[in-house]
């Protein structure tokens, strides 16, 4: 069983930046993709960004392209999400997820049902 622990959330003003991190424990070579999802009350959990192992495939939701950057530190096995130029629409609970499915298209990699392991979530609030 892989446990994922998110960190780095909080409150920020529009136009600012935040960096989220996710540490898998234990790390397993079966992890083929990791991703960030977000959810707001009343809406389905949506994919924000996904990255394959060892990082040759990266996908972003259209809403965050050019503003967010997903990366993996393969040395210490953490997953990061650098969020720049945030807007109030980026507010939500952000979840780290891991999948053992490979390969995946962009649509598959950003679809929540393709992920087996999930973190507890971390709140991001962007004020205008």
Cα–Cα distances (Å) from 59 to 12, 94, 100, 123, in that order, read 25, 16, 17, 22
Cα distance between residue 47 and residue 80, in whole Å? 15
Whole-number pLDDT of residue 36: 98
Strands 122-127, 58-60: parallel, antiparallel or unpaired by DSSP? unpaired
Strands 122-127, 10-13: parallel, antiparallel or unpaired by DSSP? parallel
Per-residue confidence band for 4, with pLDDT thresholds at 50, 70 and 90: very high
Cα distance between residue 6 and residue 89, in whole Å? 20
Name the nearest CA neighbour of 97 among 8, 15, 22, 20. Answer: 22
Whole-number pLDDT of residue 76: 65
- Runs of H (alpha helix) within the chain: 106-109
pLDDT in tens, 5-60: 999 999 999 999 999 999 988 767 788 899 999 999 999 999 999 999 888 899 99
Per-residue confidence band for 101, with pLDDT thresholds at 50, 70 and 90: confident
Cα distance between residue 35 and residue 72, in whole Å? 10
């Amino acid at each position: 069983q892989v446990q994922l622990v998110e960190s780095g959330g909080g409150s920020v003003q529009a136009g600012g930046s935040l960096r989220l991190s996710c540490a898998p424990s234990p790390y397993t070579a079966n992890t083929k993709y990791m991703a960030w999802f977000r959810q707001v009350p009343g809406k389905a959990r949506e994919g924000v960004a996904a990255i394959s192992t060892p990082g040759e495939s990266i996908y972003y939701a259209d809403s965050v392209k050019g503003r967010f950057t997903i990366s993996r530190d393969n040395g210490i096995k953490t997953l990061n999400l650098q969020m720049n130029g945030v807007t109030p629409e980026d507010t939500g609970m952000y979840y780290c997820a891991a999948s053992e499915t490979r390969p995946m298209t962009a649509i598959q990699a950003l679809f929540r049902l393709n992920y087996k392991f999930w973190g507890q979530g971390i709140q991001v609030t962007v004020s205008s």
